[in-house]
């Protein structure tokens, strides 16, 4: 039987989603606790490999295992063994054709930043920096350039050999919530550090270090040798997966 699971986690103390040799990935933590539940190791398959320090409100994974006590009981059994920084929000049986990674249609990410110092209670979840001479409108103006189908090679930390760098964003907007700003995107897929580099480029625009023309040229792969900022991990949240 195949189980689809939606989980949330604080990524601060994990080395990303993917399994690590030192067993410090979120995947490792979940697999260890699921193994305790089933009394055997079970491999789980996630929808997205979030970086170290990145958080998730809607990470999806699946695994195959026989369980006769119902989904609600399974969710409680696994959650009772998890660290407080990780929680399964829902578990449901799905067809064997479902795959957490390969069945994805779109992913929604949000990045939080603020133009004033953070407090001890939120510094793990927001990029806080000095807002003097910062132009939010510049970000509003540049974000629509990312919407559509583009080769995002210029906004990737590392591209694997043979990797498809053409992705489509259907949404790229900035919102204001509770005294901080949120850059939200929805896309068919994301390259390594792509969202963080998009945010970093937007912040550079806000400070006037680059402009819309720079972004246009970057999307056309014309100025790849010029470095752009990669936003720190703690402000990034994987919000939702669409199937």
What percent of the chain is modeled with pLDDT above 70? 100
* Segments of the chain assigned E as strands: 2-9, 45-46, 55-64, 86-94, 106-114, 127-128, 148-151, 166-177, 180-187, 236-242
- According to DSSP, the β-strands at 86-94 and 106-114 are unpaired
Residue 3: band (very low, low, confident or very high) from pLDDT cuts 50, 70, 90: very high
- Predicted confidence at residue 143, as pLDDT, reads 98
Rounded to whole angstroms, the Cα distance separating 227 from 167 reads 21
Provide the whole-model pTM: 0.95
Rounded to whole angstroms, the Cα distance separating 118 from 99 reads 39
Catalytic one of 13, 28, 51, 151 = 51
* Mean of all residue pLDDT scores within the chain: 96
Rounded (10°) angle between helices 194-206 and 212-219: 150
Fold of domain 106-242: Alpha-Beta Plaits (3.30.70)
Rounded to whole angstroms, the Cα distance separating 80 from 76 reads 6
Q: Each residue of 187-223: b (16+ CB within 10 Å) or e?
A: bebbbebbbbbbbbbbbbbbbeebeeebbeebbeeee
Rounded to whole angstroms, the Cα distance separating 113 from 27 reads 27
83 catalytic? Reply is no
Fold of domain 2-94: Alpha-Beta Plaits (3.30.70)
pLDDT greater than 90 at residue 132: no
Fold agreement between 2-94 and 106-242: yes
For the chain, domain boundaries = 2-94, 106-242
14 DSSP assignment: S
Tokens of 6: 């939606």
pLDDT per position as a tens digit, 69-98: 999 999 999 999 999 999 999 999 999 999
In 114-160, alpha helices (H):
136-142
- Collapsed DSSP state (helix, strand, coil) of residue 240: strand
Residue 162: band (very low, low, confident or very high) from pLDDT cuts 50, 70, 90: confident
């Amino acid at each position: 039987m195949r189980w689809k699971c939606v989980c949330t986690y604080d990524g601060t103390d994990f080395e990303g989603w993917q399994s690590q040799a030192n067993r410090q990935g979120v995947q490792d933590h979940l697999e260890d606790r699921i193994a305790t539940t089933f009394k055997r190791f079970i491999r789980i398959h996630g929808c997205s490999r979030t970086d170290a320090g990145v958080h998730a409100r809607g990470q999806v994974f699946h695994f195959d295992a026989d369980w006769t006590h119902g989904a609600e009981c399974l969710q409680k059994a696994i959650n009772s063994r998890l660290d407080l920084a990780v929680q399964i929000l829902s578990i449901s049986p799905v067809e064997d054709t479902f795959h957490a990674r390969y069945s994805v249609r779109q992913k929604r990410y949000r990045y939080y930043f603020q133009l004033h110092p953070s407090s001890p209670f939120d510094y793990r979840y927001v990029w806080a920096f000095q807002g003097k001479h910062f132009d939010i409108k510049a970000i509003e103006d540049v974000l629509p350039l990312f919407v559509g189908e583009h080769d995002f090679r210029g906004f990737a930390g590392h591209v694997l050999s043979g990797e498809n760098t053409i992705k489509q964003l259907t949404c790229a907007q900035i919102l204001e919530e509770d005294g901080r700003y949120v850059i939200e995107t929805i896309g068919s897929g994301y390259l390594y550090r792509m969202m963080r580099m998009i945010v970093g480029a937007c912040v550079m625009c806000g400070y006037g270090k680059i402009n819309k023309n720079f972004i246009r040229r970057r999307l056309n792969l014309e100025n790849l040798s010029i470095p752009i900022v990669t936003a720190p991990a703690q402000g990034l949240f994987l919000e939702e997966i669409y199937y």
